[in-house]
Amino acid sequence: MLHDPNKVYVFDTTLRDGEQVPGCQLTTPEKIEIAKELETLGVDIIEAGFPISSPGDFQSVVELSKAVSQPIICALTRANKGDIDSAVAALQYAKRPRIHTGIGSSDMHIKHKFNSTREEILKRAVDAVKYAKQFVEDIEFYAEDAGRADINFLAQMVEAVIAAGATVVNIPDTNGYCLPDQYGQKIKFLKDNVQNIDQAIISVHCHNDLGLATANSIAGLQNGARQIEGTINGIGERAGNTSIEEVVMILKTHQYLGLHTNINTKNFYELSRMVSSQMRMPVQPNKAIVGSNAFAHSSGIHQDGFLKNRENYEIIRPEDVGFPDATIVLTARSGRHALKFHLERLGHNLSKEELADAYHRFLTIADRKLDINDEDLTMMMSEIYVK
């Protein structure tokens, strides 16, 4: 298959890794609603679930496969026949099915999770890929805990599963352990040392335990990975997964990287709110790209600079991610320029002296009240005019 070398495939796992979060479980209709929005967003792959895990998850993969036509629909399995059979059955209606199978790759997992050896694990990995390949052409292999795996063993595993038929090799930093340069070097090592690496796409799947999921994913892309896995709002196990909106906007903002995605970024804000409300998981106000404060300017120095030229303090336009608009929040830290902006918006054009008087009153009110809204300003102006 020929791939555009600069295209980054976006693999969304909101409905699988994201949904593993306690309290975030969704019904099948809710998953379908989100999946349709993910399709509109333009993701290339939707990981719809882990069919063997429960009858409900199995059914969700069946229904999502029917409801969504553009993206590849992917189902997760462990490296065994039972899981793979279940995924094959759940994917029967998918127009473009993918099986995502895999096994632990670090000595920690090999010894303490599987009570096994590298040789045995390698065999199980290869057998799983060969087995799945009989039913589905598109096979993604995950080398769980690759972030802590011995690099030579990881390379051996990746080479073997590609030879067995894997089309995508996922190098998960399952525990969010790596630093960006370590993770980037891992991907580079695989690129440079795995003989058949060009027959597969390298995928990055990073967790956020040290707050580095986005940075690690970008490091992976800079070193040759071409698929990024993540979730909307970065939800996921423990501290979460890579936030898709962050990675996509980084690629858009830093065009010199020369990488692009299919994503319609204007849909981010609405989808973020939908995921947040359906999963009952609030978005932190200072969350990059989609947090309620992401485009709110509140200190006097920033407000003044922003009102002179937005680009002084705005590296992304709010409309590019579907955010309603930037806001100039009025607090006791705001300057005259911000007050003037809001008063003019409400129809009050004041002279310099009038503004000085209004600003003095405004500060007295703002010291009592945390932030000032239009009603407060209208009330303040009516008091000035009554005087």
- Contact residues for Zn ion (CB under 5 A)? 17
Q: Tell me which residues in 184-213 interact with ligand KIV (CB under 6 A).
A: 205, 207
Q: Distance between CA 278 and CA 32 in Å, rounded?
A: 12
How many residues in the shown chain lie near ligand KIV by CB under 6 A?
8
Strand-pairing partners, residue 45, are 11, 72
**CB contact set of 326 (below 8 Å; sequence gap of 6+):** 295, 296, 297, 306, 310, 314, 318
226, 201 contact by CB (below 8 A): yes
User: How many CA atoms lie less than 13 Å away from 80 in the CB half-sphere?
Assistant: 6
Least distance from ligand KIV to the Cβ atom of residue 305, Å? 41
Q: What sign does the CA torsion over 304, 309, 310, 312 have?
A: negative
Find the binder of ligand KIV among 19, 44, 144, 245 (CB under 6 A).
Answer: 144
105 binds ligand KIV (CB under 6 A): no
**Closer by beta carbon to ligand KIV, 19 or else 245:** 19
**Closer by beta carbon to ligand KIV, 170 or else 223:** 170
Integer-rounded Cα Rg, in Å, for the chain is 25
- Which of ligand KIV, Zn ion, none does residue 302 bind (CB under 5 to 8 Å by kind)? none
Find the binder of ligand KIV among 170, 231, 242, 267 (CB under 6 A).
Answer: 170
Place of tokens 């903002």: 253
Q: Distance between CA 277 and CA 256 in Å, rounded?
A: 36
142 binds ligand KIV (CB under 6 A): yes
Binding mask 357-376 for ligand KIV (x = CB under 6 A): --------------------
What H or E segment, with its residue span, contains residue 387?
A: none
**Closer by beta carbon to Zn ion, 208 or else 334:** 208
Render 121-167 in DSSP notation, one character per residue: HHHHHHHHHHHHHTT-SEEEEEEETGGGS-HHHHHHHHHHHHHTT-S
Find the binder of ligand KIV among 174, 208, 261, 272 (CB under 6 A).
Answer: 174
Strand ranges in the chain using DSSP code E only, listed in sequence order = 9-12, 45-49, 72-76, 97-104, 138-144, 168-173, 201-206, 227-230, 296-297, 327-328
**Closer by beta carbon to ligand KIV, 177 or else 295:** 177
**Closer by beta carbon to ligand KIV, 44 or else 144:** 144
**Closer by beta carbon to ligand KIV, 77 or else 223:** 77
Q: Distance between CA 249 and CA 287 in Å, rounded?
A: 13
Which range in 31-39, 109-117, 170-178, 298-306 contacts ligand KIV by CB under 6 A?
170-178
Residue nearest to Zn ion (CB): 17
Q: Distance between CA 336 and CA 314 in Å, rounded?
A: 20
78 binds ligand KIV (CB under 6 A): no
* Helices assigned H by DSSP within 205-332: 213-222, 244-253, 268-278, 300-308
**Closer by beta carbon to ligand KIV, 11 or else 131:** 11
- Which of Zn ion, ligand KIV, none does residue 144 bind (CB under 5 to 8 Å by kind)? ligand KIV
**Closer by beta carbon to Zn ion, 239 or else 332:** 239
Which range in 154-162, 167-175, 177-185, 289-297 contacts ligand KIV by CB under 6 A?
167-175
Least distance from ligand KIV to the Cβ atom of residue 104, Å? 9
Applying CB under 6 A, the residues found at the interface with ligand KIV are 17, 142, 144, 170, 172, 174, 205, 207
